[in-house]
């Protein structure tokens, strides 16, 4: 009887050790973090596509190659232009014409390697796309205000710039 009481006690102790510990989330709020990150990523992609513009700061300093930020944006734009044709703006900024031409060639090459057919894009040196007033006109208005002259009218369209690249022909 003594052995059976000890056996029962041992059985109860061991049985208690077989209980699963309570489940706690590995990362509290992980789903919330994923949701916010996914939403932000989608918003960033939409903004890149809406602007459809590569700026001078997205290239290597004094070089024609795209930096990491430029590669990310060019990748997003390539994904978009594979499905939908459109205009891609490559801003010249204060760079020389020679450097700017090299940058445009690099962008065309990047798009081709990313699977974008040449006829799907045209490249111009225009302000970023999107809703609102053209930034070139806004700059003229700000300059006019600063100098005391009257505001410029919209008589000439600042968007009338020549196409730099269109489907392989310049």
- Is 71 domain-assigned? yes
48 in a domain, yes or no? yes
Largest alpha-carbon pair distance within the chain?
A: 110
Q: Minimal CA–CA distance to 121: which of 89, 92, 73, 91?
A: 89
Q: Tell me, what CATH number does 53's domain have? A: 3.30.1330
What average pLDDT does this structure show over 68-80?
95
Q: Residue 81 domain-assigned?
A: yes
97 in any annotated domain: yes
Average pLDDT for 76-99:
95
Query: 4-13, 19-28, 48-57, 159-168 — which is least confidently predicted?
Result: 19-28
What residues make up the domain containing 121? 32-129+161-166
Tell me, yes or no, whether 63 lies in a domain.
yes
In a domain, 21, yes or no: no
Q: Quote the percentage of the chain above a pLDDT of 70.
A: 56
* 113 falls within a domain: yes
24 assigned to some structural domain? no
Q: How many domains does the chain have?
A: 1
């Amino acid at each position: 009887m003594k052995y059976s009481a000890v056996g029962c006690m041992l059985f109860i102790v061991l049985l208690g050790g077989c209980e699963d510990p309570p489940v706690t989330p590995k990362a509290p709020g992980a789903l919330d973090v994923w949701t916010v990150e996914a939403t932000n990523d989608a918003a960033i992609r939409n903004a890149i596509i809406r602007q459809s513009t590569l700026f001078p700061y997205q290239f290597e300093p004094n070089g024609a190659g795209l930096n990491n930020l430029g590669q990310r944006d060019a990748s997003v734009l390539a994904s978009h232009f594979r499905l939908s044709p459109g205009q891609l703006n490559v801003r010249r900024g204060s760079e020389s014409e020679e450097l700017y031409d090299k940058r445009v060639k690099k962008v065309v090459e990047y798009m081709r390697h990313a699977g974008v057919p040449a006829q799907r894009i045209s490249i111009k040196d225009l302000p970023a796309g999107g809703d609102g007033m053209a930034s070139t006109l806004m700059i003229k208005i700000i300059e006019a205000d600063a100098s005391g002259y009257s505001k410029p009218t919209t008589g000439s369209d600042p968007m009338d710039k020549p196409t730099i690249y269109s489907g392989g022909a310049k």
